[in-house]
Amino acid sequence: MILHAALFTWRSEVTPEEVEALTEALEDMAAGLPVLRGYRCGVNLRLRPSPADYAVVALVDDEQALAAYLDSPAHAAVYDAHLSRMIEDRQAAQLEVPDGIAL
C-alpha cells in the first residue's frame, strides 16, 4: 500500500472559515472515492516545530489508485474551489506501507 502525505502552508490572507470549508470539501470528496483505504485531513496541531499549516494523508492500494485519487475530477474540483487560492507552499511524499495499516 502507499501512504500519500501533503503538507500545506497557507497564504497570509487565508481565514479560519476558508480552512473549515476546505476540510468539509476534502472530507466529502474522500467519502466519494472508493480508491481511498483511509483519509485524514486537518489543521496542524503544532505539537512540534513545523512551517506547515495543514496536512492531508491518504492511504491507497497502489500507484494506480494514487493516480485515480489525485487525478479525479472530485480532487480537481476541491483544488479549483479552495486550494488554488490558499496555498503558499506545498510539499508531498509517498511512502510504502505494509498491508493492514489503517488511518
How large is the average pLDDT for residues 64-90? 98
* Residue 42: inside a domain: yes
* Residue 77: inside a domain: yes
* Grid cell in block for residue 51: 512551517
Is the per-residue pLDDT at 48 higher than 80? yes
For residue 1, how far is the Cα from the chain centroid? 17
- Tell me, what's the pLDDT at 99? 82
* Residue 56: inside a domain: yes
* Residue 101: inside a domain: no
Residue range 22-38, pLDDT digits in tens: 999 999 999 999 999 99
Grouping H, G, I as helix, E, B as strand and the rest as coil, residue 55 is strand
* Residue 103: inside a domain: no
pTM comes to 0.92
* Residue 8: inside a domain: yes
* Residue 102: inside a domain: no
Give the full edge-to-edge strand order of the sheet including 2-10.
Answer: 36-43, 54-60, 2-10, 87-96
Is the per-residue pLDDT at 101 higher than 80? no
The whole-chain average pLDDT of the chain stands at 96
What domain range includes position 46? 2-96
Residue range 63-73, pLDDT digits in tens: 999 999 999 99
Query: How many domains does the structure of the chain reveal?
Result: 1
CATH number for position 36: 3.30.70.100
Give the residue among 31, 43, 42, 38 at the shortest CA–CA distance from 75.
31
Q: How far apart are CA 26 and CA 88, in angstroms?
A: 18
